Chains A and B, each alone.
Chain A
């Protein structure tokens, strides 16, 4: 099982909290497309003979691509990779790009899953985040795609926005239920360094976040999703049975993936590499037939640490037997010993050979994971 991620580094404007690599100018989009097609061929052996089960166009804003461009990308991938019959092909879209006309065009592409960046159904919150769309466009993007026959839809929601009250958060989740969407990624707003939001808060030009609110909204989320039969298959991801994102799961289950486009990451089991975050440099690969990337070879400890960090966040849990098989008895014993404290304080449970975070523990996933790390 493996996947291909394509990074489309263009946006119409930058959201204040965003720390993804993307630029708010589209003048390099044509050159980028040519480079991308070239990179697909250059990297055709990266996944070896692994079958590709998921293709994911993320960004940036992939909904800025035309249907023709999308088809060109997918066709080139089909040409060079062993893509399975029922591949999941996801397109991230921003609501402001979704018109009836656009939907008609998208129907001509093989995209079969949409991930919509809604974030909130309230204009006040969208404004705080500096999103381009409004509440009406948010609803339309979902309904429009559903009416066109797409069922496999996911939306992103953000909680912990200072303008988002507890009541409004509940309403956001209820809107999601009402729209009968099978999948949601819910993220706590995070103030990353070097973002506009960081600067605005620093300068007291934007309200700052409150940990207490974030924790409360996280708990509300878990409770409502659980009561409506959504499975929290990863800390930020909720789904009805049968709608888990293949692509997301790949990251947490140690699958291989090839990342294409500037800043995209690839992983082949023992090393991870990432393309330079620079569009002009990326475009130059057409001439030099060489990709600029950085690479780290993961040590045994690092691979173990990554397994701990990702597996604990999932519904599948952290498998001690897997640790023993892959890393050896010493790692297994270490992991078990370190987790004792968490089990006693109720942030973790052990079922059979597997460790899981409890609801309480999920709020502290990072600290708990680092506690089990080996350095």
Chain B
């Protein structure tokens, strides 16, 4: 066993917007990894979408070097995704590090996302360096937030570094602490190769590039390697370290962080959490903690123009190249024709996929009501996994249905606890635990059905807590559920793409609301449109979109012509984004109406 005393591997744990990306940029700047002129804000979030939403979807890694007390150190920063949908990937990034910067916004205090990732880091024995960011802001409350941090990790108050990623205050201090506090990686260079894949990206020229951290052994360019979980073997065409660009190396040793390119074409072959070893001298055991990530949320994706089905398939395939957690299978809907049932890690992931289809592939799609994966127990004793309400067997064959549950962690200011509890209970949650983190911050743990989160839980939580509550969850198992299938009928015809499985007690309320929402979203046509919600043959709610009585401009002379043409062209574009079901034109967003009920 050797100690690589000049290497430090660390990640940053932070709630969204607490300054993770800005801090990373400052570190790169202070270590001279990038010059001012390269310093485009937030170097690490390099997908457009990430930048716009200010979140990190995929994790990345970067190597810096820093001189401290006449020694040169290599610092590997492993960036972690900032959203609960991607918590498995976070756990793998954490497993690749020896230490973590816990970055807390001094004006905001600790949030749920921070806590769950922090627990992950503590479980992995990481050295935690608490950083109080945004100290330059007038409304910073350092003393209060320090109380929270001390309570949470039991550190010494003086260990908390005050900093501002904006002004650069405290950055040197952070760098010194990284070197003096975070343990250097240890490993046996002569042991069989054992490297953890913590991320991968797709490059259209080079195929899949996997990011790894070596725990034991060494890897040379051209070595024959094997990925343990998939069992596939490759030649290491190129290995190297990650700076702003990839820097090829001929050999890398235990403790190093880097990338490997080996002619892999699809992301499915590179699983986050998998172990890389040598073909002829494999390691005895894979690195622990590998999981096949399973989608939690499912929805149908259909092309708005039915002729674009094949194009949609190839777009999804391309997306999958760099998004291994996306799954899809062909399905068909009576209302929408041919499309795909897609599996996502969560709702944000679903939105991202839909948006990327639009932006990167110019595909106009309809996404249907999302649902979770149900287990149907038949009265013959079989268990079926159902990902689509319309895939449910007939009632007479069903013994009972089980739905997935989660353990949800919510941190809120104590004055909102009442409304947060009410919301969770309305969503069929059971209170499991309640802990005061400080005098006015409470952590509550609920067990609740994942299916309830899929609808509008997150938005509601935000609004009832004025944005102060934060939320995180993990899946905790399956439980029997009293579910009914709620159908939506337009002019008497059931639209399968709008069906949902819902708890019987909520069905009436839900049916009423969805009818009201659809009435708002479906444009008036030349005839009345009846919107009905029904369970079986029983109609439980009804609304009518009144017929459009006229649609004609009075005048059409010289000046009106341009104006009118532009207006009608806009209308035509809108129509192109609608799908005709029966004789009713339904706009894209109506299919997701259930997500926006108030």
Contacts and interface: CB of A to CB of B under 8 A. Distances in A.
Interface in A360-375: 362-367, 369-371, 373, 375
B571 A367 contact: yes
A251 B552 contact: no
B284 to A, nearest CB: 63
Contact of A371 (B557, B559, B561, B575): B575
A260 B156 CA distance: 81
B550 A218 contact: yes
A190 B552 CA distance: 10
A215 B550 contact: yes
B553 A190 contact: yes
B526 interface: yes
Contacts of B565: 302, 305-306, 309
Interface of A: 5, 187-190, 211-212, 214-215, 218, 234-236, 248, 251-252, 257, 259, 263-267, 272, 274, 296, 302, 305-306, 309-310, 313, 345, 347, 362-367, 369-371, 373, 375
B580 to A, nearest CB: 10
Interface string B531-558: 0000000000000000011111111111
Contacts, number: 101
B73 to A, nearest CB: 59
A60 B65 CA distance: 74
A62 B378 CA distance: 82
Given A188-B550, A373-B568, A373-B569, 6 more contacts: A234-B556, A267-B561, A272-B562, A309-B561, A309-B564, A367-B548
A272 B557 CA distance: 13
Contacts of B572: 370-371, 373, 375
Contacts of B562: 265, 272, 274, 296
Given A263-B559, A265-B559, A272-B562, A366 B568 contact: yes
Contacts of B245: none
B285 interface: no
B576 interface: yes
A296 B556 CA distance: 18
B573 interface: yes
A332 to B, nearest CB: 18
Contacts of A264: 558-559
B559 A375 contact: no
Interface of B: 526, 548-559, 561-562, 564-565, 568-569, 571-573, 575-576
Contacts of B550: 188, 211, 214-215, 218, 363-364
Given A188-B554, A363-B552, A370 B561 contact: no
17 contacts: A214-B549, A235-B556, A236-B556, A265-B558, A274-B559, A310-B561, A313-B556, A362-B552, A363-B549, A363-B550, A365-B551, A366-B552, A366-B564, A366-B571, A367-B551, A373-B572, A375-B572
A345 B556 CA distance: 25
A257 B549 contact: no
A366 B556 CA distance: 11
B568 A369 contact: yes
A260 to B, nearest CB: 11
Nearest to A367: B551
Contacts of A369: 568
A296 B565 CA distance: 13
Contacts of A212: 549
Nearest to A303: B565
Contact of A235 (B548, B552, B557, B576): B552
